[in-house]
Amino acid sequence: MNREERRRFIIERARELFARYGMKKTTMDDIASACGMGKASLYYYFKSKEDIFRAVIGMEFEIFKRKVEENLSKAKSPQDKIRAYIWTRSTVLREMANYYETLTSEYLEHYGFVERERQRLTDWEIEMMRSILEEGVRQGVFEISDTKLTAVVLVFALKGLEFPWTVEQDIIELEHAIDLLLPVLFRGIEKR
């Protein structure tokens, strides 16, 4: 294994440990053991457990982005892209145990990198949603005067639904909730 492959291997093993035991309870010894290497060797690749955790969070965010982009590429219309985005976002976040651990105030207070990574992901989501909305405006299916503001509102509305949609609901309930949300989003609540 070359250096980069070894780093990725360590990140993947650490990701499993952090997801199972949490960042606090996982030690460098645990990570080294899971990788079949000595702790001293681990320090050749990473300076600290926090450095490994930072890499794990970065990996999870990249996985999230890749899966969203993958499912968006399969959707045809702007409406289908929004549905694919909401569905993928909810189901992938459900799988990201380390992401949820970072939502606690302790992590946000002590690990500024977590907040920076979360902000980077939020910025990416807003731009991605803005491009879908602009595509819909160009195709004449959406009538939106400010696609940037609308994208911000939609992304933050979905962030507000993260916990109930990804932790508290099962997949069937989630699908039903998305199906109820989309007509409100696309047609509004006013009687026409």
Q: Helix (H, G, I), strand (E, B), or coil: what is residue 190?
A: coil
Question: Please, where are the H alpha helices in 96-170?
Answer: 97-101, 105-110, 112-138, 147-160, 162-163
pLDDT digits (tens, 9 = 90+) for 114-162: 778 888 889 999 999 999 999 999 999 999 999 999 999 999 998 887 7
pLDDT digits (tens, 9 = 90+) for 47-90: 999 899 889 888 888 888 999 999 999 999 999 999 999 999 88
Query: How far apart, in whole angstroms, are the C-alpha atoms of residue 148 and residue 97?
Result: 30
Dihedral over Cα of 101, 105, 111, 116: its sign: positive
91 contacts: CB under 8 Å, gap ≥ 6: 166, 171, 174
Residue 192 amino acid letter: R
pLDDT digits (tens, 9 = 90+) for 100-116: 555 454 455 556 777 78
Q: Spell out the domains of the chain, with CATH numbers in brackets.
A: 1-46 (1.10.10.60), 50-187 (1.10.357.10)
Half-sphere exposure of 128 (CA within 13 A, CB side): 22
Report the pLDDT value the prediction gives residue 110, as an integer from 0 to 100. Answer: 54
Region 173-178: mean pLDDT is 82
On average, the pLDDT of the chain sits at 85
Cα three-residue angle 31-36-38, rounded to 5 degrees: 70
Residue 170 amino acid letter: D
pLDDT digits (tens, 9 = 90+) for 5-32: 999 999 999 988 888 887 788 999 999 9
